[in-house]
Amino acid sequence: MVLQQAARAHPSSAAFLPRALAPRYGPWLCRRHKSGPYGYTQAKALVYSKYGEPSDVLSLHTHSISPSLPSSALLLRTLASPINPADINQIQGVYPVKPPFTSLLGTSAPSAVGGNEGCFEVVSVGSAIKSVTKGDWVIMKNTGFGTWRTHTLAEEKDILKIGNKEGLTPIQVGTVSVNPCTAYRMLKDFEKMSEGDWFIQNGANSGVGRAAIQLGRQWGLKSINIIRDRPDAAATLAMKNELLGLGATKVVTESELMDQSFKEKVNEWTSGGRELIKVGLNCVGGKPTSALIKHLSPSGHLITYGGMSKQPLSLPVSALIFKDIKFSGYWVSRWSDAHPDDKKRTVDEILEMTRKGTFKDIPVQELRWDWGTEETTLKKAVQGTLSGFRAGKGVFVYGDT
Ligand SMILES: NC(=O)c1ccc[n+]([C@@H]2O[C@H](COP(=O)([O-])OP(=O)(O)OC[C@H]3O[C@@H](n4cnc5c(N)ncnc54)[C@H](OP(=O)(O)O)[C@@H]3O)[C@@H](O)[C@H]2O)c1
């Protein structure tokens, strides 16, 4: 197997970018590779050898990548990799995709690398590789690869090439394949939605929620967006305005949703129910979702893709019997494994919208990962991901690694 053959590193380079170009491409290009003796690439990875809380089980492991690159291997360096809620669940051992613990990186106990999404630059390629060349950007084709690492070896089957990286940042590319694709497919693949139709969603300020708002607006869909009440009224208003600015039609808090008067409001917005709320998107569960279901039109469809409140979903019986509401689950990993070509098309389409400025970035908290960044700093960033009311998604941005 390629990865077991300890592949060859790229030639040691100290490629510094002209200062004038630095502001646009930030830390990604203004850096050098750590290169050890005999051309070995020095790499670091956040690994775990047993399941548990990230702060307990993650450790930062340093290893070398040998200069003898097998013909079918690629050496990649990571430019950006986000910390998604599912990454934490994976480390906790409660996510269905469980990367095998292996000894490939030479950890004292067999380990897996955290993270599932990211943007990588091709540093060098084996002689048999034809589809990518040095300098190309790639993302991972499937979940479970392990993306919280400074460098990695991969094979062609692991990667999707970004056809045109012009005008894009590594964060945009490194966060496209999970959340935007999830929103896109949920709005397209379950019900035929036409201009003027509505959808209703909770977790509306999440990465998926923001993507759904923006895609929905471009496709002429109207949306009712539910957010959690913020600690104070000003913060709630600011969040509402932010989502309205992205193209949300209506934004309400969970307490407004639970209020008796909400039914009337929805009736008014949808012209007495003549405009249909065909789809509900749920990543929360619990009581707020039971309340959301009541606003779906007859034969509407609730699609559950997450359970952030950790509360089970309880379904009103009448929704099934009298309104014939359908209930489905969605998992982007299942879709991308089954439809790799569709994944490429969806990613390309969203990146094109991003390039044109019609699909805005999610708010992010950039967490710079340099060679000297301490293990505790990286672990803290990961552990903090599941706490609510965050200013943005944590994304590792690789600097001087
Ligand atoms: N099934 C799939 O294929 C798929 C794909 C992508 C994502 N997901 C899931 O979708 C969800 C959102 O992911 P993301 O990456 O878009 O999220 P994100 O950008 O990291 O945002 C997290 C969201 O969860 C909300 N939240 C956090 N704790 C909560 C709680 N206790 N109760 C209710 N809401 C809470 C946050 O609301 P506040 O701002 O109010 O804290 C925020 O809206 C996650 O469950 C993730 O696993 C599933």
| Claim to verify: residue 159 and residue 286 sit in the same structural domain | no
The pLDDT of residue 192 is: 97
Q: Which of 27, 28, 138, 126 is nearest to 76 (CA)?
A: 138
Q: Across residues 356-365, what is the average pLDDT?
A: 95
What is the torsion angle, in degrees rounded to the nearest 10, for the CA atoms of residue 96, residue 97, residue 101 and residue 106? -150
Q: Which of 117, 176, 208 to mutate to test the pocket of ligand 1 (most atoms within 8 A of CB)?
A: 208
- DSSP letter assigned to residue 372: T
| Claim to verify: residue 232 and residue 309 sit in the same structural domain | yes
Q: What is the CATH number of the domain that holds 292?
A: 3.40.50.720
What is the torsion angle, in degrees rounded to the nearest 10, for the CA atoms of residue 235, residue 240, residue 241 and residue 242? 90
Q: Which of 83, 94, 104, 93 is nearest to 153 (CA)?
A: 104
Contacts with 235 (C-beta within 8 Å, 6 or more apart), sequence order = none
The pLDDT of residue 4 is: 41
Q: Is residue 224 part of a domain?
A: yes
Q: What is the CATH number of the domain that holds 22?
A: 3.90.180.10
The pLDDT of residue 375 is: 97
| Claim to verify: residue 158 and residue 213 sit in the same structural domain | no
Q: Is 95 a catalytic residue?
A: yes
Residue type, 121: E
Q: Across residues 356-384, what is the average pLDDT?
A: 95
pLDDT tens per residue, range 210-249: 999 999 999 999 999 999 999 999 999 999 999 999 999 9
Q: Is the pLDDT of residue 23 over 70?
A: no
Rg of the chain in Å (alpha carbons): 22
SS3 199: strand
Q: Is residue 292 part of a domain?
A: yes
| Claim to verify: residue 219 and residue 244 sit in the same structural domain | yes
* Average pLDDT of the chain to the nearest whole number: 90
How many angstroms separate the CA atoms of 176 and 139, rounded?
9
- pLDDT band per the 50, 70, 90 thresholds, residue 358: very high
How many angstroms separate the CA atoms of 250 and 228, rounded?
14
pLDDT tens per residue, range 78-90: 999 999 999 999 9
The pLDDT of residue 136 is: 98
The pLDDT of residue 6 is: 38
Q: Is the pLDDT of residue 19 over 50?
A: no
What residue numbers bound the domain in which 187 lies? Answer: 179-333
Q: Which of 229, 202, 203, 204 is nearest to 214 (CA)?
A: 204
CA 375 from centre of chain: 23
SS3 153: strand
| Claim to verify: residue 204 and residue 72 sit in the same structural domain | no
Boundary residue ending a domain (294, 313, 333): 333
Q: Is residue 318 part of a domain?
A: yes
Tokens of 237: 């208003």
Which ligand 1 atom sits nearest the alpha carbon of residue 333? 3
Instruction: Give how far Cα 397 sits from Cα of 85, 151, 158, 200, 370, Å.
Output: 18, 13, 21, 33, 9
Q: Total domain count for the chain?
A: 2
The pLDDT of residue 390 is: 84
| Claim to verify: residue 24 and residue 108 sit in the same structural domain | yes
Q: Is the pLDDT of residue 12 over 60?
A: no
| Claim to verify: residue 127 and residue 231 sit in the same structural domain | no
| Claim to verify: residue 156 and residue 75 sit in the same structural domain | yes
| Claim to verify: residue 32 and residue 120 sit in the same structural domain | yes
Q: Is the pLDDT of residue 11 over 80?
A: no
| Claim to verify: residue 162 and residue 192 sit in the same structural domain | no
- Residues having CB within 6 Å of any atom of ligand 1: 84-86, 178-179, 182, 203, 205-208, 228, 283-284, 305-306, 308-309, 330-332, 388-389, 393
The pLDDT of residue 22 is: 33
The pLDDT of residue 1 is: 43
Boundary residue ending a domain (293, 312, 333): 333
Q: Is the pLDDT of residue 16 over 70?
A: no
Q: Across residues 156-185, what is the average pLDDT?
A: 97
Do 154 and 211 form a contact (C-beta atoms < 8 A)?
Answer: no
Q: Is the pLDDT of residue 34 over 80?
A: no
Tokens of 39: 């051309």
Boundary residue ending a domain (318, 333, 348): 333
| Claim to verify: residue 251 and residue 231 sit in the same structural domain | yes
Q: What percent of the chain has pLDDT over 70?
A: 90
Tokens of 209: 């929620």
Residue nearest to atom 39 of ligand 1 (CA): 389
Q: Is residue 342 part of a domain?
A: no
| Claim to verify: residue 145 and residue 185 sit in the same structural domain | no
The pLDDT of residue 36 is: 63
